[in-house]
Copies of this chain bind each other. A is one copy, B any other.
């Protein structure tokens, strides 16, 4: 068993599970062994490097504070340098179902712990794809959030500028729930005020117009995934993979690898005998790269990023196979650098371009698990999640939309309650979804309001408060969440006589909702008896 570098005693775990409280109470958590757990050695897959931290990394602390119980520290490609899961003195972590194949790495033990049920969730890290490739090979979900939105304090750096803490779980709802806890409890990078909180109802998804290196069986699986999305109402567009793949090559083939030397180079130089030969050769080769070459490569990277993002203009997300194929342990042993490099072709560019990603299973490629990754712009994690949910919701074959997404736990958001033309399925709904608003469900006002139909195009309701002492109705509405900037823009575009302001709800709370200029409302047709725009529409009482 090469999953674990350190396992807690089952009795301890059972005691903690029994005592746990909080939103993740009793959830069993595996932690990649480059992330600090208080009192347990952090080895980064290199016993000579080990140190024992006094306290949990903020990511671990956040999950524990929510009730998750650490079950152990997991094996990894040493210093998180690899995508295969074989570069460890503890031995290669094999695929959970087909042991002759690699598990994927560098978060190999974490992914297999979840795939085998030894843990419910696991912390991974991701620089080049370490939180996505093993998810794909193991048929589980891996969330790689926007760079920096989860603190990497207490994490042994690989490439400090691009490292992310990631989360594995068997299905998307659990992974999402745990990510919400992570982001809220271990957040770092500030969220902008104009984040989209949902994918649009008919998203546009880009795919590469060619997929070099893709295994033919995997190609078929990818085409099935794309076809199912298209049938589900997703518009598919194609983009040139060149700037993406060129950036991917820069991560190891250019000067960026100097980040790895900066992180652990002095140790590697001093302890050559303790370091995996492949990992050591990669890191040592970075020692003498001149700084001006790194400057040039970063300028090249910025140009590639501009081109890549420009090619995605109009698309909500990019969809790729998570990896082009899954090598055997023997194949990796025969060509450790080449095989690893091929595995990362579709993942390496992600963090360099400041994209977020969600890796989800999507059926089989022959005998292999097949997985795809939905990539979106920085802070559009909610968009990526919604599109990923169309592909898989974990155990079930029937995609179901997510009720909630983890960015709601951290991104600034405002609410607006709508009563008529902006209800789901009504003609102006798109004014909200175009702004990235997220539908949060039905609500009702306090029984203090009048509902009228305005003679506008399209027809709109006027919800106005009855004078004190007069009876009113509880009007049915829907609640949407949107970013502060989206709410400001929505208001700025609002035509007369519509207004926005605070409306009272049944529980006595007040929420931002649609109102109407009083004179226009008075001139409208009173349809309060229906107390619902859709009911009035169905009854033919409008227009």
- Tell me the A residues contacting B by CB distance below 8 Å: 160-161, 192-194, 255, 258-259, 261-262, 265, 286-296, 298-299, 412, 414-415, 464-468, 482-492, 494-504, 510, 512, 515-523
Contacts and interface: CB of A to CB of B under 8 A. Distances in A.
B160 A466 contact: no
A290 B258 contact: yes
A502 B467 CA distance: 23
B496 A262 contact: no
Given A488-B491, A494-B502, A498-B501, A518 B483 contact: no
Given A484-B489, A517-B464, A517-B501, A262 B299 contact: yes
A404 to B, nearest CB: 20
Nearest to A306: B188
A479 to B, nearest CB: 13
B518 A522 contact: yes
Contacts of A498: 501-502
A466 B522 CA distance: 11
Contacts of A495: 502, 510
Contacts of A510: 495-496
Given A255-B291, A289-B292, 8 more contacts: A160-B295, A192-B194, A193-B484, A289-B291, A465-B496, A465-B497, A484-B492, A501-B517
Contact of A291 (B291, B483, B517): B291
A496 B259 CA distance: 55
A517 B514 CA distance: 11
B501 A497 contact: yes
B502 A262 contact: no
Nearest to A490: B488
A160 to B, nearest CB: 6
A522 B522 CA distance: 12
A289 B287 CA distance: 11
A43 to B, nearest CB: 22
Copies of this protein in the assembly total 2
A299 B263 CA distance: 11
A329 B461 CA distance: 76
Contacts of A193: 192-194, 483-485, 488
A520 B258 CA distance: 66
Please list the 8 inter-chain residue pairs (A to B) with the smallest Cβ-Cβ separation, ordered nearest first: A518-B518, A499-B501, A487-B488, A258-B291, A193-B485, A484-B488, A262-B295, A488-B488
Main secondary structure of the interface of A (DSSP, over half): mixed
A465 B520 CA distance: 8
Contacts of A289: 290-292
A261 B292 contact: yes
Nearest to A259: B295
Contacts of A160: 295, 299
A512 B412 CA distance: 23
A207 B88 CA distance: 53
A465 B519 contact: yes
Given A290-B291, A291-B258, A291-B290, A501 B494 contact: yes
A149 to B, nearest CB: 16
**Among A466, A483, A484, residue most surrounded by chain B Cβ atoms (within 10 Å):** A484
A520 B287 CA distance: 73
B519 A464 contact: yes
A465 B517 contact: yes
A459 to B, nearest CB: 18
Nearest to A489: B484
B499 A515 contact: yes
A270 to B, nearest CB: 15
A13 B288 CA distance: 53
Contacts of A499: 499-501, 515
Nearest to A299: B160
Contacts of A265: 292
25 contacts: A192-B194, A193-B485, A194-B484, A258-B290, A262-B293, A262-B296, A265-B292, A286-B291, A414-B488, A465-B497, A465-B518, A465-B520, A468-B519, A483-B485, A483-B488, A484-B484, A485-B485, A486-B488, A491-B501, A494-B512, A496-B501, A496-B503, A500-B500, A518-B519, A518-B522
